[in-house]
């Protein structure tokens, strides 16, 4: 659990000045709406199963080359680090009856337009509302694995 400061942000990587790779697993935030990753040296960022309690991921990572995400895409991604990302891997768990994650995922793909390699699991891209009414009625997840 990361706790926010006066600027409504948490910045867990700021103390690590030579950080090359960062894995954030099951991130939860208190008293903030933004997870900020700032690092001049960060090359690889992986995020797994972030919680729903924050709205935005800010990347200030000039050297970031690889971004991997698994879980529910519930946060907007922004910042100056997006243009340096060249390899993206996304395995998203999307609930068909929730529009927000699908729209955020589309936003991510638009913001990460300069990538050289993009891997998105096929089930992440699949929308089978018409072929499987059970999932929509019960709001079951479409679990995507890479």
Pairing of strands 2-3, 29-30: parallel
Asked whether the whole model's pTM tops 0.85, one would answer no
The string of pLDDT tens digits covering residues 5-50 is 667 777 877 788 899 999 988 887 877 888 889 999 999 999 988 7
């Amino acid at each position: 659990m990361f706790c926010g400061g006066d600027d409504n942000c948490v910045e867990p990587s700021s103390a690590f000045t030579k950080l090359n790779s960062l894995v954030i697993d099951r991130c939860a935030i208190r008293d903030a709406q933004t997870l900020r990753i700032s690092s001049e040296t960060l090359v690889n960022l992986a995020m797994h199963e972030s919680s729903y309690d924050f709205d935005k991921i800010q990347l200030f990572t000039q050297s970031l080359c690889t971004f991997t995400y698994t879980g529910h895409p519930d946060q907007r991604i922004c910042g100056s680090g997006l243009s340096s990302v060249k390899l993206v891997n996304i395995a998203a768990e999307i609930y068909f009856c929730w529009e927000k994650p699908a729209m955020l995922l589309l936003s991510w793909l638009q913001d990460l337009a300069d990538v050289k390699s993009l891997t998105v699991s096929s089930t992440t891209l699949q929308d089978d509302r018409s072929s499987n009414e059970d999932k929509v009625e019960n709001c079951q997840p479409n679990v995507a694995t890479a």
